[in-house]
Homo-oligomer: A and B are copies of this chain.
Amino acid sequence: MVGKSYSMTSWDLDLDGATPVTPDALTRLTAALEADLQETNRAIVARMESPVALIPQLAAHLVAAGGKRLRPLLTLASARLCGYRGDRHVQLAACVEFIHTATLLHDDVVDESILRRGHASANAVFGNKASVLVGDFLFARAFQLMVADGSLDVLRILSSAAATIAEGEVLQLTTQNDVATTEQRYFDVIRGKTAALFAAACEVGGVIADRPAAECAALARFGMDLGMAFQLVDDALDYSADVSELGKTIGDDFREGKLTYPVLIAIADGDAAETEFWNRSIGEGEQSDSDLATALALIDRHDAINRTVKRAQGFTETAIEALSIFPPSDLRDTMQDVASYTTARRF
């Protein structure tokens, strides 16, 4: 399991999707960084080793499953865009992936209340506790790798990102089932839980290349806004019927009572009967089998998917703009194309 080789040809922008898609921009970015990515995958496999066998076993389920390497790819691309020629970016890309995987493992943890509602979870094989502890190991290991790298700037950026991720996740927890959640609060949540790591992943690429603060900040801006767009689209996809054709289940966010952007739109523009529906189904978490269909119909009625994607496109545009301070190059263009693709996928 741990020693398997990876196919670098199929990429998947979707966090949870089972079916890989091969978008052109990501394929090109991947191809441009093929050698670096292979090194990163070798580092990932090597560094998640432990005498405690369950750790690489469980980590392999997520880390070594292959396919999802968007965040480390951003570190590699940013470093190369800045003309970096060393090999520190490979270890730091592995760090970024470890931090991401730790958050995925901790996201798998379920509460008694959720168990009572009968939802299975990705941690079914190993249990809550193992997910938490192996996540902790990967998180600690990421910091060990950063310490070995030796840059306090890198450590500062990624430890801040880690704290911000946790804050975003806790904030999401407190907004769950809260139909009074504001748009601002939603953006605070996704900035923390998703965009902060995208931003840090990009910024460290500039830092290890010793680039001026303005360029590091531009990379952080690119990552941040790309991450915002990415999460907005992800939240749209969770209510997009098209996705089901690709093998992904929809309605997870609805069932968990998450106040994502499409729902915020539908709530804001809903009439009295719709308000009652959202209050019951999301606010109180009282759901019947037909409720997801109703939710989808209301979201469609208010054009909430398109409006969410439009909002994402605003972030994509500022992400693309942020990279304009770098001289034109194939790599820069491809990174910008990846941003464009984020809001184009599956629509």
Contact = CB atoms under 8 A, between A and B. Distances in A.
Given A159-B143, A167-B137, A173 B54 contact: yes
Interface string A145-184: 0110010100110011011011101110110000000000
A155 B147 CA distance: 7
A133 to B, nearest CB: 5
Contacts of A103: 136
Contact of A136 (B128, B137, B166): B166
Interface string A36-64: 00000000000000111111000000000
Determine how many copies of this chain the complex contains: 2
A166 B134 contact: yes
Contact of A166 (B137, B156, B171): B137
How many interface residues does chain A have, given as a range? 35 or more
A289 interface: no
Given A133-B170, A170-B55, A127 B112 contact: yes
Given A115-B112, A137-B163, A163-B137, A106 B132 contact: yes
Contacts of A132: 106, 109, 132
Nearest to A138: B166
A155 B143 contact: yes
A163 B146 CA distance: 13
Given A133-B166, A144-B160, 11 more contacts: A50-B170, A52-B171, A103-B136, A112-B127, A115-B115, A134-B170, A137-B166, A137-B167, A140-B166, A144-B159, A147-B156
23 contacts: A50-B167, A50-B170, A52-B171, A52-B174, A55-B166, A55-B167, A55-B170, A102-B136, A103-B136, A106-B133, A109-B109, A112-B127, A130-B170, A133-B170, A136-B162, A136-B166, A139-B139, A139-B162, A140-B159, A140-B165, A143-B162, A147-B155, A152-B152
In order of increasing CB-CB distance, the 3 nearest A-B pairs are A140-B162, A137-B166, A140-B163
